Structures are given as structure tokens and as C-alpha cells.
Amino acid sequence: MSIFFRMGIFLLFVAVLFTSCEEEFIPDIVEAEPDIVVEGYIEAGENANPPFVILTRSVPFFSEINTDEFNNLFVRDAIVTITEGDNEYELTEFCLDELTPEQQAQAAELFGLNPDSLEANFCVYLDFSFSLMGEVGKTYDLKIEAEGKTLTSSTTIPQHVPIDSLFLVDAPGVPNDTLRQMNAFIDDPAGAPNYYRYFSGVNDGPILPGFNSIVDDAFFDGLYFEFVLPKSEVNDPNVDIDPNTFGLYTVGDTATIKWCTVDKAHFDFWNTLEFNAANQGPFSSYTRIESNINGGLGIWGGYSVSYYTRVVD
Amino acid sequence: MYLRIWCLLSVLFFSNFLIAQETYTFSGYINDQSSGETLIGANLYNKSNPTEGTSSNIYGFFSLTLPQGEYTFVCSYLGFADKEIVVNLNQDIRQTIEMSEGVTITEIVVTAEEKDENVENTSMGTIELPVENIKTLPALMGEVDILKTLQLLPGVLSAGEGNSGFYVRGGGPDQNLVLLDEAVVYNSGHMLGFFSVFNADAIKNTTLIKGNMPAAYGGRLSSVVDVQMKDGNDKSYQVDGGIGLISSRLTIQGPIKKEQSSFILSGRRTYAFDLAQPFLDGTNFEGTNYYFYDLNAKVNYRFSDKDRLFISGYFGRDVLNYRSNERDFFFRMPYGNATTTIRWNHLFSDKLFMNVSAIYNDYDFSFGGGQADFTVDLFSGVRDYNAKIDFDFFPNPKHQIKFGANYTYHRLTPNVTSASNGTVDFTNEFEPDYAHESAIYIQDDFKVNSRLTLNFGLRASMFTQLGPYNSTLNGTRYEKGDVVKTYTGLEPRVSGKYTINPRASLKAGIAVTNQYVHLVSNSTSTLPIDVWVPSSELIKPQQGIQYAVGYFQNLMDNEYESSIELYYKDLWNQIDYRENYVNNPTTEVENDFVFGTGRSYGLELFLKKRKGRLNGWVGYTYSKTDRTFPEINNGETFPATFDRTHDLSVVANFELTPKWQLGGVFVYGTGNTFTPIKSLYFIEQNLNVEYGVRNSARLEPYHRVDLSATLTPKPDSEKRFTSSWTFSVYNTYNRRNPFFTYTTFETDANAGTAKATAYKVSLFPVIPSVTWNFKWKQK
């Protein structure tokens, strides 16, 4: 909804600003200690990923960073533990350059990367014994000790609410033989709020977060509800987004939807992150991304997941 | 406590009423001879003793009570020839004084202050702006705009490039009381505020009060902009119009019954996008359009010497339609104000003037859009029903007393949203908020002696929040009409003037103000989507106190006026969005608010040349404005969004020849604040922003020069039809003033590289414009 708004305001602006002009500039650097950024997930459900935690550092505003600088952002040698009830699991650090090509391919898939053109050396903390898998209804505490700091967080994997049905309809607007739109129904449980996030992928490509991937049920609590699942767009600087095909599937593709429920803190993180990314300029002052990490930035998030595939016809 | 204050006031008011000598009252109206328009703020004084004087009120009425005797009064008004009236005051005399435009016409631009008015007037920080005096100044795209001219005065800051919004002495954009014929205008901007809703052709006079608000005004913390529409020529028919770059105007006025009743009808509409319509036909964007328009209408009728009725109305709309036919995407966004004012002036006696007003005003914003079967509709707005009664009492020359009462019934509709996916309709079920707001006031302008004048007043205000309302504090459900919460406020206002010599005076004042309805914006400028919210259980009334002192000096036989003013202001219960605010249509905005305090202080310098072929002024403001919110910036004080250290305006008018009138404006301001990026970090291989201290960085300074030239081909024409051309250049040296910044990010996760690019965007380059204005007048 806010997207509609912003667009309206933006266009109103364009009406006046046929004359506006923009130029690049280098902002002043704000001197600040880097923060440790946590990106960790624990999933429950069929085909769920094993829990993992990526630790990086925040950096002052830059114009460009190269592969070496990128690789140096990873926080190494941290002690990462996940606690559930009386069970404690310590994660092990792996970097891509320490893995066999086969393992690298697996890891790349986990991060949504392309193993063929991989140059960056991602490092991740992982339970390689695979003895820890997320379970619905359980709470997982995270503790990280690194670079003299201790970071903590906690997340719960909520009950799953599956997609009831998934189907393809004609793309809106001018009739088109090759483009289709994905719609879905869910049967939202009444009462307590539910929070949803979705990802999608095409054919063998990576599974990527959707456009406006996060939603709560405030508008459709307890309803049997139809909504659109736009196709996720690859974040590739070399590919321009085409507004005429944006979010639409091409006939013949195989679409995969990853559908998740998340808890409140996890929802708040993505909700503020997406709002923050979409709102800049004169229409909105900044929104701070709400992290659930004590002592750092980022997210420790539980997902209750289910996967669906459809051939686009 | 209240009782004691009233007793004290009563004693002060009435102690001087008993004057032994026989006194009589000279009263009446002051008019423009050619049109019959009443003149607001015209001065009338005893020629041999100028301290015995008064000025006309907003209805043009004056009353002066003096001992029996023969007097020569001087009546003066900017742009008009002084008029002397000899009166033998051996009985009460009522008379209409007709002023004619005179030789002093070259004395121009903002100011109604006459002669020593700059030093003589008790009120501080009050400026009257007759509209005729701004028409020769340069204007953006040729659209003459009273609100933008106000921004050229010290203490008044522009809300942004080309914007008609303004901030007064550190107050927020919602802290200005903008009145059109006494009706509150809740959104005074068209097109995101680039143009104000006031069509200059329909406006007679504008009064800005930036400090020491008199007790007659209330409901806002920082300032009053009181705009009066023209009454209409009651002597002959007249048509004025203009064709400009983006809009055209037409005004018709004339007598309904000569010198008894008249009307005025004025309209303005933009057409830039209408002209583009043929080019959109057959394209993806067919049906896309944007326009705005204004309609002003007023009639008045003089029943008798003692009774006069005014009915006036305003209606304005912005409409944006957008269509993208290929993707079946559309929306429609109309918004605007409507006001109606009915006023009855009645003279109980030559000393007691009454005005009763019934006022309706409405601002609404709506949005409807969607794609294929999915649609969203949204509505928000404010609707007030307002009744007020005001008395002007002129017991003797030492006192001028005003008192009255005001009641408003508010209906404030938050963002009521409904949506449909073609099969299911759903809504956020928001309900309008209702409230009573009322106030009583009394004030006295008391000439203690020939050197000292005091103006003291008291305003008592009350606000009651009504149901329907769901309390988030204790879960109580209030039904429609139930009282949820009542707030009261006592607002004393005191100011005074001490005359050092006929050319210099010292003024000081303290004013306490309360504000019960609020507009909170998450953007750097207000947008039509921002909603007005009432005080409630959660939102306490905003409160402010302002202290101001000033030194006023006229120089070189009143050719120059100068002043230095200092102010300090404390603000409480200021409102902002919390830092992790996300626009969520299902949450009432008050749950996203946080509360804090504000502070502002500043120095204002003003030097004006009043006379001569070259006239104009220089205004400079040094100020500092900050805010402290426990939940923002970790509780540390931060600069307000509109904190501007230096603000300079230079305004000049020059009569080159009788045919050519030149105008120029230079403005300079410290760059706007913004919140800098503290650091960047990766999540899901995309860059995200962690922000630093709020408003701790600044854009580059803002400056620009505007020039204008007005050509009146036949300035002395006696013909019915006359016309003129105004050529205007905005931002003459094409300064790229940064308006906002944004940043784009690119990440190639596979390669492990990333790029961040910051851009600053400037709005208006050099913009020339031309406007053709015409006037037809019945002889």
C-alpha cells in the first residue's frame, strides 16, 4: 500500500520536476566503530536448510569495495552457540576456500549464489554434524563471542500456515501469450497475528526473497485470502528491471515458492529493512532497521517453511 | 486562582474608564474610494497629538473616543494619499472615510506600517501584507504567492525549494494557524506545496503574527497567517485576469446594489497537463492527468449603518490521475480544501463592535488505485464546524479591548483504508475522531501614559476528545459521543512598548500557547497524505512559551525603518514518528508517535527603505532550533529538521520608468539538515543502511536570485481596459541548490564486489516565465 502512495507522490513530483537535476557526490564519512552484523537463520519443515550464521562487519560509507575488502568483512574465529532448552550446539566456521568443489556447490546453493562464477570467499558458521534442525514451536537462543564482544539473540519458529492453493492467471493489462502471474490462496488462522515471508525461484536458479517479501495478516486475519506472489528479481547490477515483465513468470518455466511463517521480531526486521530500502529522499525521513541482536546489527530468525513448485502454463 | 486573575484584569480594564471630561466618539469605516473595499489596518490619528490614534480592524471599522473639541485627524494607508478630516467633536460622529490611491504609490512592498508605526505599534512581530504590494515581485512560474513572500521576512523560513510551506521561529509546519476569512485552512499547498492555495487576485490583505500572538488567536503554537478575501467592488463592475505559464485566472466583481451590496467571484486553474493530453492519446499513459484549481466567492450586504453580512467560500482541488494501460495499473488522487464563512458585523454603539461567525471547513484526501482486480481505497481528512463571537470595545483612547468566544466541533478522519482482491473486501475499520475545542479570551491594549503601552490578554481553552475510541491504555471502548479525555489550558499573553523618543521604542512580550490538533510528518516537508490527529489519551496538547524583546528605530525622517528582535521559545509535547516507523495502514498513527520537547532561539534584523523609486528590505535571521526526544537518538538533543543557522533575504523594487517596474529577490540560507549514513552492511547479499545521529549533517547552503520586470504599456491610460506584462526569472544564475540526497547500491555477491553511489537532487534550474494581466473596469 505504501508503495502505491509513494508512487503517487513520486509521480506528482515528476509532474513538477521535469526540470530537476541530480549529480553524484561523496558524503562525509561518519567516524564510528564497526558493528558486528549477524545474519543467521534456523528453519523447520520439509527440505528445510540447516541452521547457519554469517558474521560480518559494518563499514563506513564507501564508493566501491573489491573482492579482497569484501572477504575481509567476515568476522572470523567467533564462538557461536545455539541453545534450545538444555541442548547446546556450537557451530563451526567454514570458508568456501576450505571446501571441496562439491561442498562449495552445496554451500553456494544455500546462499543463493552461482557456484560457477564464485570469486568471493564466504565464511559461515554451520552445524556440520547436521544434528540440529529447527522444530516448530521451539525457541532458539544464539550467543556469539567475537572480537571481544558478546552478542545474544533469541528466535522462535512459529506454527506453519501452508499455502492452500497456487495457480497462474493471465498477466494484468494488455493480453500477453507468454507472461503469467502467480496467485495464491491461504487460509489464515483467526486470532493471534501471523507473519509471512516468501521466496521464489525459477528453474534451477537461486531461491530469492520476493518483492515486498514480508507481510502480516492485519488486513486478512482469519480469512480465506487470495493474493499475488510476484516473481523475485535477481539482484544483478547488469540486468535492468523491465517494468513490463516485472514480477511475472514466463510460460514454460518451473517456479518454486518457498513459503515461511516467522515470529514478530523476525517480521519487524524485514518490515523495517524493506521500508528503509524503499524510502529515501524528501518523502520520508530514515527508518532504523529493527534488529533482534543485542550488541550488534542484523537478524537471528526462525522460519517455518514449505516449498511448492509449479510449471508455468 | 482564576477568580483572582479575573478580578485583577477587571480592575485594570475599568479603572481608567471614568474620565471627568465630556467625551464623544468618532467612528466609522475606512474604504478605498474607487472600489469601496474596506481597508484593514489603516491608521487614524490626531494631527496635533499622534498618540491619540487608532487603526481599523479587519472589517475596516475604527472608533476613537476623545474629549469634546475640534480635531484634525489624519488617515493614512500604504499606497494611498493621506487624508485630513476636520471634525468638530461635540457629539458622537459616525463617518465613512474614503481614501484614494495617491502619489505615494511608489512606496511599496510588504508593510502597512505608516509613519512611526514601526516604533509606535505595541504589537511585535506582526506584519501586514496588502496583496497589491507583492505583485511586482518575482514569482516561481509567474504564480504570485503570498505565502512565499512571507518567507522573505526575518523569522520565517521556507519549508524548501519553491515551497509555500513555512516554519516560524523554530515551530513545526503544523504550528501555523492559517486562516482564510477566519476559516482554518488545513492544507495550504497545491502540488506538494509548490504553490499556495491563495489566489492573489481574490486576496485583500494578509497579516502575519510571528510572536506574541494576541489572545484573540489560539489553537496553534507558533504563528498566525490571517488572510482576508476581497469583499468585491461595490461601486462598479470590474474584471481582472491573467494568463500565465501554468495557469490562468479570472476574477469578476461588482455591486449587487450600489454601495450596499457587492460580490466577487475568482477562479484559477492550471492547464499545463491538459495541453499534453492529445500527446498521451493512444499511448500507455492515456488518461493520465494532473491539475489544480481554486474558486473563491464572496458576497456582502449592508443592512443598515449598524449591520453588515458577509458570506464567503473557497473551494480548491488537486487531482492526479495515473494510468498505465499495458499493465492495467491506475490510481486517482484528488485532495483539497473547502471553506465557508458567514459573518455578521453589528455595531451596538459607536464603541462596541461585534462580529459573529459561523464557519465550516473541510480538507480531504483520497486515493483510489489498483491493478486488475486488486484495488485499494484510502480516505483521510478534517472537517470543522466552528462558531465564534468577537467584540471590539473602544471605551476611551487609553483602552482598546477585545473579547470573545470560539467553539469548534472537529471530525478528524485518519487513513481509513479499504481494499479488495476482487473476491474479498477488507478494511482497517478506522473510525473518525471527534472532538470539541473551545476558548474564551479577553485582551486590552492599554496606553498607560505617553511612553508606555501594555497589551495584556488571557485565553482559556478546552479540548475534549470524544468516542468512538478504543483505549490502548486500558482497553476501554468509548462509543460515539462518550467523553474520552478533556484538556484545559490557560494562556496568558503580555506585551508592551516603551517609547524612548519619537523615533525609537523598546518592545517586549511573553505568550503562552496551546495546540490541540497536530500534523505529524515523516517526511522533510509535509505531504497531502499526512493526517491531522487530535489530542487524545496518548497525545497530550502541544504547549509553547515565547519570550521576545525588540528595539525599533526609524531613520532619516522615516525613510528607513529598522528593528532588532530576540526571541526564545520552549515547546513541550512535541510529536514525531518513532525511529523504526513503518507506514502500516492497520495501525492508528498515534501508536507510532513518540513525544519530546523543543527549543528555539534567534536574532532577527530588519532594515527597510520605505520610500523612493528604489525601495525594499533586508531581513536576516540567526537561529537555532533543536528537539529532544527520549526515544529518538538515544535521548540526545538533535537539530530540528528545519534548523537553519543563517537566513538572509534581500528584496528590492525599482521604478525604472513609469512603464517599467523592476523587482529582485536574493535569498541565502544555511543548508538543510539530513541524517547521514553511519555505515553499510550486508544482509542477503544486499547493502543496507545504518543511520548516524539524526539531522547531524547538512546539505550545501541555499541561495538564489530572482528578477522580475513589469511592463505597463500605458500607465496613465484612462481607458476601461488596461493590461500589463510581468517577466520573471527564477533562480537567475542557475544555482543547483541541493534539495535531497539518496543512495543507490549495487552488489555482485558472486564476485564479492559492491558499489554505493550517493546523489543529490536539485529541483529548479533557471526558470523564466511571463504572465499577461488585464483589467477591465466599468466607468
The distance of B377 to chain A (nearest Cα, Å) reads: 10
Q: Does residue B468 have a cis peptide bond before it, meaning omega lies within 30 degrees of 0? A: yes
Are the beta carbons of A4 and B675 separated by less than 8 Å? no
Q: Where are the domains of chain B?
A: 2-106, 120-227, 228-777
Count of CB contacts below 8 A, A vs B? 270
C-alpha span between B302 and B257 (Å, rounded): 10
Residue B149 phi, psi dihedral angles, 5° rounding = -70, -35
Question: What are the angstrom distances between the C-alpha of B331 and each of A12, A18, B218?
Answer: 12, 21, 38
Nearest by CB to residue B752, choosing from A27, A28, A120, is A120
Q: Which residues of A touch B325 (CB under 8 A)?
A: 173-174
pLDDT at B1: 45
Are the beta carbons of A114 and B750 separated by less than 8 Å? yes
| Residue B104 pLDDT > 60 | no
| Residue B660 pLDDT > 90 | yes
Chain A nearest-CA residue for B521: A284
What pairing do the DSSP bridges indicate for beta strands B753-762 and A64-65?
A: antiparallel
Are the beta carbons of B192 and A22 separated by less than 8 Å? no
Question: What are the angstrom distances between the C-alpha of A15 and each of A165, A197, A207, B147, B592?
Answer: 42, 35, 38, 22, 31
Q: Which residues of B touch A223 (CB under 8 A)?
A: 424, 426
Nearest by CB to residue A218, choosing from B586, B736, B747, is B586
- Over chain A, what is the mean pLDDT? 87
pLDDT at A2: 43
Q: How many residues are there in chain B?
A: 779
B228-777, what's its fold?
Maltoporin; Chain A (2.40.170)
Are the beta carbons of B755 and A237 separated by less than 8 Å? yes
Interface test with chain A among B748, B755, B759, by most A beta carbons within 10 Å:
B748
Nearest by CB to residue A226, choosing from B421, B685, B751, is B421
C-alpha span between A186 and A79 (Å, rounded): 40
Please identify, in words, the CATH class of the domain defined by B120-227: mainly beta
| Residue B19 pLDDT > 70 | no
- Over chain B, what is the mean pLDDT? 87
B528: cell is 497531502
Mean local confidence (pLDDT), B30-52: 86
pLDDT at A11: 52
pLDDT at B163: 80
Q: Exposed e or buried b for every residue in B332-368, given b needs 16+ CB within 10 A? A: bbbbbbbbbbbbbbbbeebbebbbebebebbbbbebb
| Residue B18 pLDDT > 70 | no
Query: What confidence category does residue B322 fall into, taking pLDDT thresholds of 50, 70 and 90?
Result: confident
Tell me, yes or no, if B251 comes closer than 8 A to chain A by beta carbon.
no
Q: Which residues of B touch A71 (CB under 8 A)?
A: 752
pLDDT at A118: 78
| Residue A86 pLDDT > 60 | yes
| Residue B59 pLDDT > 60 | yes
pLDDT at B486: 97
The distance of B220 to chain A (nearest Cα, Å) reads: 24
Do B519 and B455 touch, CB atoms closer than 8 A?
no
pLDDT at B503: 86
pLDDT at B122: 60
Are the beta carbons of A19 and B767 separated by less than 8 Å? yes
Query: What confidence category does residue B525 fall into, taking pLDDT thresholds of 50, 70 and 90?
Result: low
Which candidate, A191, A177, A207, places its Cα nearest to that of A108?
A207
Which candidate, B407, B429, B430, B434, places its Cα nearest to that of B534?
B434
Are the beta carbons of A24 and B759 separated by less than 8 Å? yes
Nearest by CB to residue B675, choosing from A2, A225, A286, is A286
ipTM of this complex: 0.93
Q: Which residues of B touch A20 (CB under 8 A)?
A: 739, 761-764
A201: cell is 525461484
| Residue B150 pLDDT > 60 | yes
Do B632 and A287 touch, CB atoms closer than 8 A?
no
Rounded percentage of chain B residues whose pLDDT exceeds 70: 93
| Residue B315 pLDDT > 90 | yes
pLDDT at A235: 67
Query: What confidence category does residue A1 fall into, taking pLDDT thresholds of 50, 70 and 90?
Result: very low
Are the beta carbons of B324 and A237 separated by less than 8 Å? no
Which residues, other chains included, contact B275 with Cβ-Cβ below 8 Å and sequence gap of 6+?
none
Do B601 and B147 touch, CB atoms closer than 8 A?
no
Chain B nearest-CA residue for A208: B684
Tell me, yes or no, if B741 comes closer than 8 A to chain A by beta carbon.
yes
| Residue B529 pLDDT > 80 | no
B2-106, what's its fold?
Immunoglobulin-like (2.60.40)
- Look at A74-83, A301-310, B534-543, B706-715 and tell me which has the smallest mean pLDDT: B706-715
Residue A14 phi, psi dihedral angles, 5° rounding = -55, -35
Are the beta carbons of B690 and A289 separated by less than 8 Å? yes
Nearest by CB to residue B680, choosing from A61, A113, A281, is A61
Mean local confidence (pLDDT), A95-104: 85
Q: Which residue has the higher pLDDT, B233 or B139?
A: B233
The distance of A193 to chain B (nearest Cα, Å) reads: 12
Tell me, yes or no, if B424 comes closer than 8 A to chain A by beta carbon.
yes
Interface test with chain B among A30, A75, A179, A245, by most B beta carbons within 10 Å:
A30
Are the beta carbons of A62 and B525 separated by less than 8 Å? no
Nearest by CB to residue A9, choosing from B527, B586, B764, is B527
Residue A12 phi, psi dihedral angles, 5° rounding = -60, -40
Are the beta carbons of A67 and B742 separated by less than 8 Å? no
Which of A199-203, A285-289, B761-765 is predicted most confidently?
A199-203
Kindly give the residue spans of alpha helices, DSSP state H, lying in B47-164. 117-120, 146-150
Quote the pTM value.
0.89
| Residue B172 pLDDT > 90 | no
Q: Which residues of A touch B419 (CB under 8 A)?
A: 1, 219
Q: Which residue has the higher pLDDT, B158 or B130?
A: B158
Chain B nearest-CA residue for A10: B192
Q: Which residues of B touch A22 (CB under 8 A)?
A: 759-762
Tell me the residues of chain B between 519 and 548 that have a Cβ less than 8 Å away from chain A: 522-525, 527, 529
Q: Which residue has the higher pLDDT, A111 or B552?
A: B552
The distance of B476 to chain A (nearest Cα, Å) reads: 20
pLDDT in tens, B293-303: 999 999 999 99
Rounded percentage of chain B residues whose pLDDT exceeds 90: 48
Query: What confidence category does residue B585 fall into, taking pLDDT thresholds of 50, 70 and 90?
Result: confident
Are the beta carbons of B762 and A21 separated by less than 8 Å? yes
Chain center to CA of B586 = 33
Tell me, yes or no, if B697 comes closer than 8 A to chain A by beta carbon.
yes
Q: Which residues of A touch B756 (CB under 8 A)?
A: 61-64
Rounded percentage of chain A residues whose pLDDT exceeds 70: 90
Q: Which residues of B touch A95 (CB under 8 A)?
A: none
Are the beta carbons of B753 and A117 separated by less than 8 Å? no
pLDDT at B35: 86
Residue with cell 483521510: B380
- Helices A2-16, A264-278: axis angle to 10 degrees equals 10
Are the beta carbons of B750 and A118 separated by less than 8 Å? yes
Tell me, yes or no, if B765 comes closer than 8 A to chain A by beta carbon.
yes
pLDDT in tens, B341-374: 999 999 998 899 999 999 999 999 998 888 877 8
Tell me, yes or no, if B581 comes closer than 8 A to chain A by beta carbon.
yes
Do B487 and B439 touch, CB atoms closer than 8 A?
no
- Look at A87-91, A105-109, B560-564 and tell me which has the smallest mean pLDDT: A105-109
Nearest by CB to residue B583, choosing from A28, A173, A275, is A275
Which residues, other chains included, contact B33 with Cβ-Cβ below 8 Å and sequence gap of 6+?
B98, B99, B100
pLDDT at B415: 85
Mean local confidence (pLDDT), A64-85: 93
Are the beta carbons of B679 and A30 separated by less than 8 Å? yes
Kindly give the residue spans of alpha helices, DSSP state H, lying in B179-231. none
Which letter does DSSP use for residue A204 in this model? T
Nearest by CB to residue A20, choosing from B192, B751, B762, is B762
| Residue B11 pLDDT > 50 | no
The distance of A62 to chain B (nearest Cα, Å) reads: 6
Is B222 in a helix, a strand, or coil?
coil
Nearest by CB to residue B753, choosing from A70, A244, A298, is A70
Please give the angle made by the CA atoms of A167, A5 and A281, to the nearest 5 degrees: 120
Mean local confidence (pLDDT), B222-229: 93
